[in-house]
Amino acid sequence: MLEAIGVDSVGEIFDRQIPAAVRLDRELELPEGLPEQDVYEHLRALAARNTSAEEELCFLGAGMYDHYVPAVVDMLCERSEFLTPYTPYQPEVSQGTLQVMFEYQTAICELTGLPVSNASVYEGPSAVAAAAYMAKLHNGRRRLVASAGLHPHSLETLRTHAHGYGMEVVEVPLTSGSAGGVTDPDAWAEAIDGQASAAIFAQPNFYGAVEDATALSQAAKAGADPLVVAQVDPIVLGILAPPGECGVDVAVGEGQPLGNRLDFGGPSFGFFAAREEYLRRIPGRIAGETVDVDGRRGFVLTLQTREQHIRRERATSNICTAQALNALAAIVYLSWLGRRGIVELGQLLLARTHYARQALAGLDGVSLQHEQPVIREFALRLDADVAAVKRRCARQGVNPGVDVHALSGRPEDSGVLLVAITERRSREQIDRLVDVLAAAVAAERRSTSEAVGV
Amino acid sequence: MAEASYPEDLLYHPEHDWARVEGEQATLGITWFAQDALGEVVFFEPPAVGTSVAKDAAYTEVESVKAVSDVIAPLSGEIVEVNGALAENPQAINEDPYGDGWLVRVRLSDPSEREALMDAASYVSSLAS
Amino acid sequence: MNLPAPSPGGDGRAPASAGGPSPLQRERARTIFQKGATSRRAFQCPPPDVPEADPDELLPARFRRREPPRLPEVSEPELVRHYVTLSKRNFDLDSGFYPLGSCTMKHNPRLHERAAALAGHARLHPLQDPERAQGALELMWRLQGALAEISGLPHVSLQPSAGSAGELAGVLLTRAYHEDRGEQRHKVLAPDTAHGTNPATVSMAGLEVVKLATDAEGGVDVDDLRVKADTDVACLMLTNPNTLGVFDANIEEIAAIVHGVGATLYYDGANLNAVMGLSRPGDMGFDIVHFNLHKSFTQPHGGGGPGSGPIATSERIAPYLPRPLVVRREDGSFALEHQRPKSIGRLRGFHGNYGCLVRAYAYICSLGADGLRDASEAAVLNANHLLARLCQKGVAEYLPLAYGRLCMHEFVLSGGPMKRELKIKTLDLAKRLLDHGFHPPTVYFPLLVEEALMVEPTETETRETLDAFAEAIAAILAEAAEDPAVAEGAPYSTPVRRLDEVAAAKQPVIRESL
């Protein structure tokens, strides 16, 4: 080998190309390499120090949910033919991946009620930021109006990116009082002025409340007509009016609930669907149908002139790939669920969530944070320290939900617990949550009043 | 259009654009050479009527499957008409670059600018060099 | 559109162009939406176990969906058969050589999939209390440390979702650094060989890209850099070795010029696979680097995602890193640090693509320090071996090396002479390679090389595979010398043949009509 290359040693290949001053003259300070079985044991031991949804009753949500992932998803995603190719640059040998993208796009269009979908983006919050960038390219305005009902991570991601785009983010508060918990319609209408590039809300919102999407869209259109963007939970779209029917221009969201595992937050995927007029401005890969030279139906990556490798500094995004494997999981999952299944699943979530909410809100020291309709998640206000209550529940093998203040940092979120229900949480398990939370709140209130010094 | 052609009655810009000046107005488009280099045009979104174009500056884009090219204005002025038919039939830019493939019509703001453009013979010889 | 018939003469010269369509070719593509039948299903909903309630009371009718989404209606056997059949219409790395330049298609050890699928990783909720996610946080902390050591830059954020997200983080960090010093710098320098993501990222970060010329050796034109480097420059973005497979011999001088005007130096880690354990971006003078864990640290590419793009920085950039970071506290426990007042903020939800981090960490544990260096050495050796094979007579006169004589982990050939003398384009060569059972290299990139062919074999290929690939290239060129129509009509043996991309772009059909 070396002779053919014309060098005496491998080292010479480097010596002749890398200046000596920037060569590393020592070994990296890393542990010695390990054989496979030892690496496995090490990673297993690390995994064992995490409490997963397998080991406790998990009511955590806030963007990612412990839904059941059917075995067919694992089996298909592990196939070498889907797992190990790159982006389908050579369509003649990538019809599997390309057709999966096309099918995925079809399913996302159906779910959202919008005619155009890309082949996925990285994940939920950055999809919100991508929609905002598209709005900027579309109308050139400089303000983003964002409901406080968006996930705190979406709001922060939007701010990070908007600073880059040179846009400002104006946050619209939620209503308070008996009709509290949804985007304040007056403040929303007022914030949408001639500089509003996009108006963005979440459906259902971060606190679980179903927003009046039609009213929010109409108010925006009646104002300065920005792009109306909704961050939507895809799993409830079997029973919730699709954004496309509510006047929404762009629907984005976190795709994890659709057949993707939790993975401590990623990888998952973001979906991105829009009205027809935005087809040539949307970010990311898009698969399109065509024919080959023999007239056979086939699929290719299309509308590529939007993308960074062609349009460079004027591209609609810098994104290079989709989350193809995660989107495969989604289309397999949606096909597994089927047309009737997604409705039945939505109804089950609705019924169990309502049951859990009623039961929990009836406990001493627990009240509803808002009374709006909810589908799969709801916010409670505890008359006790949430972190301490959670620690007590954990000792009973129950994780009762998300400590919202720890996530959002908002003072008004102090004492708020966000509880999520999936089809994996049976009535029996919900009853157990009720018992454990009741005891934990009572015990915590007792110990606090004792500590205050009676 | 299979054969290269460069009509005598047009004026040419080195960035491969042509102008047909008629009084105070001019029709603009891209040359045979430009469309051939670009390949089959799949998309053209015309600029809005009423926008200004400046000589030597880009005023719109044409897209093929794997390229986007800026179109440079050979003369300055205000757009008074655009070729709306190209939205449905962008390949007219390939098939008939000097006829049905015209892009925009402008009202000239400085008709003397035409002095700086080339005639067909000069443009053809510039392609050969 | 009538293209030439396969293999004129039918003398068996073309290895995979047998007459008549193959079984895969005979099957017309039908989507999952065109299969199944009304009310067929795989999913069984758990029976109702809570008291029945009036649905309208729970969710008012005006919020409800009227018609169910038209999702597929198939049984599990149909579902499995559909997707398994579809999978066979893909070429994949587990089946064959995939020398896609700049993509580092190295073998994906199956251990990584098994480890990532452990419930303690795969079913761990991102909002689990940190005290009960110590294993995950420790893994992330250890990976941060390993990446810091490999890059020679001490501070690491694992958050960016992919290389492009890492780049955006890098440019936003640079902006934050200058803004914090009261400076508004609006230009970012990038060589004309740069990936398209570099300029696209710069625009998204609100800055303006200025192109640098390439010198005769394939590196940055230092004279051009001197002219363009001024106090309006925020940053120089560089890939080293670059997209030509050339290590920039002037890197120290480049760093001195860039730092001399107060700008930062950004390392696009796309090509890190050439230098692990051999040379470190931090020692070259870079301030910020992004890693493509899906390249150098071997993630399965999944047909285009997911990936992961952590970043590492020098001390002066560290205060601006995305939040949260994983830290180890004095008591030895691990935590997420959110209180970072100068941070650029979040780039995405939660903590990054943890599943990818598990795989990258497993890879580093498997290889260790010497293994990583060996991997880079073998990658460079393999590339040079293949280059030497392709520099032989019968190939080199048609496909000359664009720059240099040796290469790092990849090299770029020019198909210009091939196009002129054999009348076939790089695209034709690529399509004909498919009939030989190889995935083609990256084609038509970088843009400044005519008819470019960018080849990256990686360290996990055997010499026999590299030799067979070189022989296939030689055979295609010899075949073209006799009859270029064969390559022009290729491929013949694939599930579909050349596809009409013009029609797809002109009248886009991007979903099934239902």
Return the CATH fold of C113-366.
Aspartate Aminotransferase; domain 2 (3.40.640)
| pLDDT band per the 50, 70, 90 thresholds, residue C493 | very high
Residue of A nearest to C54 (CA): A351
Residue A78: other Cβ atoms inside 10 A: 14
Residue B73 lies in a domain: yes
Is the pLDDT assigned to residue C16 strictly greater than 60? no
Is the pLDDT assigned to residue A190 strictly greater than 90? yes
Residue B100 lies in a domain: yes
Q: What Å distances lie between residue A42 and A31, C271, C361, CA to CA?
A: 13, 29, 11
Model pLDDT, residue A32 = 95
Which pLDDT tens digit goes with each residue over C264-301? 999 999 999 999 999 999 999 999 999 999 999 999 99
Model pLDDT, residue B29 = 95
List the one residue out of A355, A158, A436, A39 whose CA is nearest residue C50: A355
Residue of B nearest to C444 (CA): B66
How long, in residues, is chain C? 514
Q: What Å distances lie between residue C256 and A318, C16, C246, C250, CA to CA?
A: 29, 54, 20, 10
Q: Do B67 and A311 touch (CB under 8 A)?
A: no
A429 touches chain B (CB under 8 A): no
- Structural domains of chain A sorted by starting position, each given as residue range(s) with its CATH number in brackets: 57-64+339-451 (3.90.1150.10), 71-333 (3.40.640.10)
Q: How far is CA C228 from the centre of its chain?
A: 30
Q: Hunting for tokens 């019509």 — which residue is that?
A: B105
d(CA A82, CA A328): 8
Q: Hunting for tokens 């709306």 — which residue is that?
A: B84
B49 touches chain C (CB under 8 A): no
Is the pLDDT assigned to residue C491 strictly greater than 70? yes
Check residue C468 and report its DSSP letter: H
Sort C349 into a burial class: Cβ within 10 Å, 0-12 / 13-18 / 19+.
Answer: buried
A218 touches chain C (CB under 8 A): no
Q: Concatenated DSSP letters for C359-390? A: HHHHHHHHHHHHHHHHHHHHHHHHHHHHHHHH
Within 8 A of B65 by CB-CB distance, chain C residues are: 501-502, 505
How long, in residues, is chain A? 454
Q: What sign does the CA torsion over A427, A428, A429, A433 have?
A: positive
Q: Which of C327 and B69 is assigned the larger pLDDT?
A: C327
C242 to chain B nearest CA, in Å? 23
Q: Taking residues C197-208, report their average pLDDT.
A: 92
Q: Taking residues A27-37, report their average pLDDT.
A: 97
Range of lowest pLDDT (A7-11, A179-183, C12-16, C252-256): C12-16
C503 to chain B nearest CA, in Å? 8
Range of lowest pLDDT (A174-183, C112-121, C320-329): A174-183
CA angle at A46 for the pair C162 and A52, rounded to the nearest 5°: 80
Q: Taking residues C255-262, report their average pLDDT.
A: 97
CA Rg value for chain C: 26
Q: Do A304 and B45 touch (CB under 8 A)?
A: no
**Number of DSSP helices (H) and strands (E) in chain C, helices first:** 17, 12
Q: Taking residues B49-67, report their average pLDDT.
A: 91
Q: Global pTM?
A: 0.95
Orientation of helix C354-390 relative to helix C134-151, angle to 10° = 30
Orientation of helix C463-482 relative to helix C354-390, angle to 10° = 60
Give me chain B's average pLDDT, please.
Answer: 92
Residue of B nearest to A303 (CA): B65
B121 to chain C nearest CA, in Å? 28
Is the pLDDT assigned to residue B62 strictly greater than 50? yes
Phi–psi pair at A403, nearest 5 degrees: -75, 100
A311 to chain B nearest CA, in Å? 7
Q: Which of A305, A313, A314 to mutate to test the interface with B (most CBs of B within 10 A)?
A: A305
Model pLDDT, residue B129 = 66
Q: Write the CATH number for B67.
A: 2.40.50.100
Q: Which of B51, B60, B65, B69 to mutate to test the interface with A (most CBs of A within 10 A)?
A: B65
A310 touches chain B (CB under 8 A): yes
B86 to chain C nearest CA, in Å? 11
| pLDDT band per the 50, 70, 90 thresholds, residue A368 | very high
Domain ranges in chain C? Answer: 113-366, 368-493
B80 to chain A nearest CA, in Å? 22
Say if strands A270-274 and A116-117 run parallel, antiparallel, or are unpaired.
Answer: antiparallel
Within 8 A of C165 by CB-CB distance, chain A residues are: 122, 126
Interface predicted TM-score of the whole assembly (ipTM), two decimals: 0.97
Q: Taking residues A168-178, report their average pLDDT.
A: 93
| pLDDT band per the 50, 70, 90 thresholds, residue C19 | low
Bridge partners of A298, per DSSP, are: A290
B68 touches chain C (CB under 8 A): no
Is the pLDDT assigned to residue C196 strictly greater than 90? no
C67 touches chain A (CB under 8 A): no
Model pLDDT, residue B17 = 95
Q: Do B68 and A280 touch (CB under 8 A)?
A: no
Check residue C206 and report its DSSP letter: T
Within 8 A of C161 by CB-CB distance, chain A residues are: 122-123, 126, 266-267
Q: Do B43 and C501 touch (CB under 8 A)?
A: no
d(CA C505, CA A304): 8
Class of domain C368-493: alpha beta
Q: Is the peptide bond before C446 cis (omega within 30 degrees of 0)?
A: yes
Q: Do A311 and B45 touch (CB under 8 A)?
A: no
Instruction: Tell me which residues of chain C have a C-beta less than 8 Å from any C-beta of chain B.
Output: 501-502, 505-506
List the one residue out of A376, A377, A378, A379 whose CA is nearest residue A345: A376
Is the pLDDT assigned to residue C97 strictly greater than 90? yes
Termini Cα distance of chain B: 23
Q: Do C161 and A122 touch (CB under 8 A)?
A: yes
Q: Do C505 and B42 touch (CB under 8 A)?
A: yes
B65 touches chain C (CB under 8 A): yes
Is the pLDDT assigned to residue C10 strictly greater than 50? no
Q: Given a contact as 3+ CB pairs under 8 Å, which chains touch A?
A: B, C
List the one residue out of A441, A236, A254 whose CA is nearest residue A352: A236
Q: Do C502 and B65 touch (CB under 8 A)?
A: yes
Q: Taking residues C472-495, report their average pLDDT.
A: 97
C65 to chain A nearest CA, in Å? 4
Residue B6 lies in a domain: no
Residues 6+ positions from B30 with CB-CB distance below 8 Å? B16, B17, B18, B38, B62, B71, B93, B97, B101, B103
Number of structural domains found in chain B:
1
Residue C67: other Cβ atoms inside 10 A: 10
List the one residue out of C268, C267, C312, C311 whose CA is nearest residue C286: C267
d(CA A372, CA A379): 10
Residues A330 and A107: beta-carbon distance below 8 Å: yes
Model pLDDT, residue A453 = 64
Residue B115 lies in a domain: yes
Model pLDDT, residue B36 = 87
C330 touches chain A (CB under 8 A): no
A 368-407 near C (Cβ less than 8 A): 373, 375, 390, 394, 399, 402, 407
Within 8 A of C506 by CB-CB distance, chain B residues are: 42-43, 90-91
Q: Do C501 and B65 touch (CB under 8 A)?
A: yes
d(CA C326, CA A281): 36
C 146-165 near A (Cβ less than 8 A): 146, 149-150, 152, 161-165
Residues A338 and C35: beta-carbon distance below 8 Å: no
Q: Which pair of tokens denotes residue C96?
A: 């064959």
Q: What Å distances lie between residue A432 and A65, A368, A436, B105, C123, CA to CA?
A: 19, 19, 6, 75, 21
Q: Do C373 and A27 touch (CB under 8 A)?
A: yes
Q: Given a contact as 3+ CB pairs under 8 Å, which chains touch B?
A: A, C
Which pLDDT tens digit goes with each residue over A113-129? 999 999 999 999 999 99
Q: Taking residues C148-172, report their average pLDDT.
A: 97
A225 to chain C nearest CA, in Å? 23
How long, in residues, is chain B? 129
Which pLDDT tens digit goes with each residue over B98-118? 999 999 999 999 989 999 999
Is the pLDDT assigned to residue A50 strictly greater than 70? yes
Q: Which of C172, C201, C350, C427 to mutate to test the interface with A (most CBs of A within 10 A)?
A: C350
Residue of A nearest to C145 (CA): A30
